[in-house]
A and B are shown apart, each in its own frame.
Chain A
C-alpha cells in the first residue's frame, strides 16, 4: 500500500491547527463533451484570459488567450459528489439551528460531517471551518480560439416553426459558445494536513466527478486523471506555470485535438523536475501512484464504501462535542462571511 509512502506528510488524525504538511495532486482534466465555463451569465463568452504562452524563449513573449476553469467550478461538483454518498450512507448530520439535514449554502451546515470538516463552511455567527483543499484556476493548453466552438441555438416551438401561435418570433435564436470535446486543462490541487482516509475521499471525489460547468445534464462531461502526487513542506508551482512549462515541452505546431499520450508525457516531464524543488520530500513513482489509485478505488468500491465512509466519519468523533459549547455572548462581528459556491 503506497499510501504509506506519504505517511510523513499525512496527518494521523484531524487536528485543528495547521502543520507544514502539503500534498499536491497534479490533475489532467479533459472535456468529453461540449462544456460551458462562464463567470458571468448565459450569453457571455467562455471564461478565458490572456496569459504568457510559455515560460521560455519565444513562448515567454507570446501572449495567448487560454480557457480558464475557475477554482470554484472545480470544487463545487467534486464536493457535491462526495456529499451524495454521505447522504446515501446517512452520514450527513442535522444542524442544531433548524434541525435540517446538512445542506450546502442554506444557512445551516451541520458542522459535523466529512464534507464540513474537509471542505469547510461559514455559518453566520456559529462558527467556521477553513477548507483544507486548495484549488486553483486551471488553464487550457491550447489557445481559446482553437478549442471554442460556436453553436446556433434554434429554439423551435411545438408547432415546429420559429413562431408561436400568436406569431411571435422565437427569442431563443442566438449563437452560443462552447468548449469542444477533447480539450485539456492542467491543474494543481493542494491538500493541507489531511489524513490517509481524507486523501482517499478527496481523490475519489476528483476521479469520480464527471460533470462540470453549466447545464450539466446535457453537456459538461469531463474526465479527470491524476498525473502526479507530491508530499512537501511548501506549496508547489501553480497550475498556470504547469500549463506554460508543458506548452514549452510540447513544441510547435500544436493543433486541437492534442495527442493525449504526448501531453501526459510532456506534463510528467515537467513535474519530474518538481522533486528538486525546495521542500519536496516525496514524489510517488508511476507504480506507487497506480497503487494509490487502486487503493482509492478499493475503498470507494461497492463492497468497501460503507465501511470506508463510516470509518472516515468516525475519525472526527473527538471533535464533535464542540458544538455544545455554544457561546451565549453572540458576537456581532461585522466581517460578513461570503460563502461562494459557483
Chain B
C-alpha cells in the first residue's frame, strides 16, 4: 500500500431538504431508518454509477454493487455519511391506497374485487384476498428534514448541487465544505472519527476496537481504532486503501 489512488478528497455536507427514508430495519409494522447514509446509496445518488430504471431478473433479487462499482473504483470513493450532531427522526404512517371505488384492507393487502367478498366470508381464499408480499400499511421512521451529514469524497469530481436519496427520492443539498490533499501515513495505531463501510475496509488493517451499526447492505463501523497504514485528509484519518467491496473476496 505504497501508492495512493486519490490525490485529493472533498469534505462534503449533505443537507436534508426533505425527510429521508431507507428501510434499515423492521420491527413489526414499523420501518426504521438509521441515522447514517450508506456510501453505496450515495454513489448511485451522485450519478457515478448508472443503474437502470427497470430492474429485471436477477437484479431484482440481488444487488449488483460489485459489478456497478468496479469500473469507477480506481478513481472514486466515498465514505458513508455520518450525522453532524444528533440525528432527529420523525414518524409517519403510510397506507397503500387503491384506485378502485371499493376496496378493503385484508391480510396486509388492499383487496379491490368486491365480488370476492362473499367467497372470503365463506372462508374461501380468492386470490385477490391473499396476503401481500410487500407491506401496505405501517409506520416509517425517517430522518427529519434539516438534518446534516458529512462525508468525504475521494478523487477529483464535480458534484451535483442536489441529489435524491432513499425510497422516496428525497431531495438533499450537496455542499462542498473543503478540499484536501490525501497523504499517506505509515503503519501505526490510529483512531478514525469517520463512519466506514465494513465491506470496504482493506484486508491488511487490524481492527482493534469499533462500534457497529448493522444496516443493509453492509454494516457501518464507527469509532474504529486500528493498526495499519492510514490516509490523512486535513485533520481526518481513515484506514489507507479503502475500496468498494474491498473486503468481499475474503468472506465470499
Contacts and interface: CB of A to CB of B under 8 A. Distances in A.
A317 interface: no
B160 A235 contact: yes
Given A49-B145, A131-B169, A329-B58, A238 B162 contact: yes
Nearest to A98: B127
A331 B54 contact: no
Contacts of B55: 127-130
A125 B60 contact: yes
Given A106-B112, A325-B56, A234 B161 contact: yes
A48 B110 CA distance: 28
A130 B53 contact: yes
Contacts of B71: none
A342 B97 contact: yes
Interface residues of A, number: 64
Given A40-B93, A235-B162, A106 B110 contact: yes
B53 A105 contact: no
B57 A325 contact: yes
B60 A331 contact: yes
Contacts of A39: 92-93
Considering the complex of A and B, which 5 residue pairs feature the smallest CB-CB distances, nearest first?
A331-B61, A124-B133, A333-B61, A105-B96, A235-B162
A338 B99 contact: no
Given A105-B97, A107-B133, A128-B55, A336 B26 contact: yes
Interface string A226-251: 00000000111110110000000000
Interface in B213-247: 216
A271 to B, nearest CB: 15
B128 A106 contact: yes
A71 B169 CA distance: 10
Contacts of A83: 99
Contact of B54 (A49, A71, A322): A322
Interface in B27-51: 31, 47, 50-51
B141 to A, nearest CB: 12
Interface residues of B, number: 56
Given A103-B98, A132-B53, A319-B54, 20 more contacts: A18-B53, A20-B47, A39-B92, A80-B99, A84-B99, A105-B98, A106-B112, A107-B130, A107-B134, A131-B169, A136-B17, A234-B162, A235-B164, A278-B161, A322-B54, A336-B135, A338-B23, A338-B134, A339-B136, A342-B95
22 contacts: A17-B52, A18-B53, A72-B168, A103-B99, A104-B97, A106-B132, A124-B132, A136-B171, A137-B145, A234-B161, A235-B164, A236-B162, A329-B58, A330-B61, A331-B58, A336-B134, A336-B135, A339-B96, A339-B136, A340-B140, A341-B96, A342-B94
A105 B93 contact: no
A130 to B, nearest CB: 5
Interface centre among B99, B100, B140, B162 (most CB of A within 10 A): B99
A240 B160 CA distance: 18
A257 interface: no
B168 A71 contact: yes
A167 interface: no
A41 B161 contact: no
Contact of A129 (B54, B62, B97, B136): B54
